[in-house]
Amino acid sequence: MSSIFTRIVNGEIPSAKVYEDDHTFAFMDIHPASRGHTLVICKEEYPDLLTTPAELVAAVAITTRRVAQAIVAALQPDGFNIVQNNGAAAGQVVFHYHVHIIPRWEGDRAVRGWEPGTANMAELHELASLISAQIKTS
């Protein structure tokens, strides 16, 4: 079964389209965190960042930048968040790769940050080594 986003791209479900090109589609979020909250999706359906081909991730990034520039010009927010969730534990609800652009104004409570933790340098070096060992070079 197709995701709700695929159905939007196919015109089966209405949306307030902001932008479209061969690989990406941007539209207003119907459950916005703030005024102007926009979603940018890959037209092809992949569940998350890790399953989406690199060239399509790049296309979504380029569209995200383009739409964010337009949001800033049109709405003049004080800033904006770019949010991309992967997996239910990270808050992903629709399993179709997408990016949120959330305009922000001073004093709003649209997106709350995390509580910074603490780590020691030895642990950071150990984690860096574990992660670095998993990076595959082409």
51-68, pLDDT tens digit by residue? 999 999 999 999 999 999
**Is 31 labeled as catalytic in the residue annotation?**
no
Query: Is the CB of residue 2 less than 8 Å from the CB of residue 10?
Result: yes
Residue 111 has pLDDT above 60, yes or no: yes
Determine the Cα angle at 56 with ends 90 and 54, to 5°.
80
Do residues 27 and 20 make contact, with C-beta atoms less than 8 angstroms apart?
Answer: no
- pTM over 0.85, yes/no: yes
Catalytic residue among 37, 96, 98, 100: 98
Q: Which two tokens stand for residue 119?
A: 């780590």
- Domain edges within the chain: 4-107
Q: What's residue 123's pLDDT?
A: 93
Q: Give residue 35's identity as a one-letter amino acid code.
A: R
pLDDT at 138 > cutoff 60: no
The tens digit of pLDDT for each residue in 8-52 reads: 999 999 999 999 999 999 999 999 999 999 999 999 999 999 999
In the CATH hierarchy, which fold is given to the domain comprising 4-107?
Answer: HIT family, subunit A (3.30.428)
Report residue 48 as tokens.
């998350």
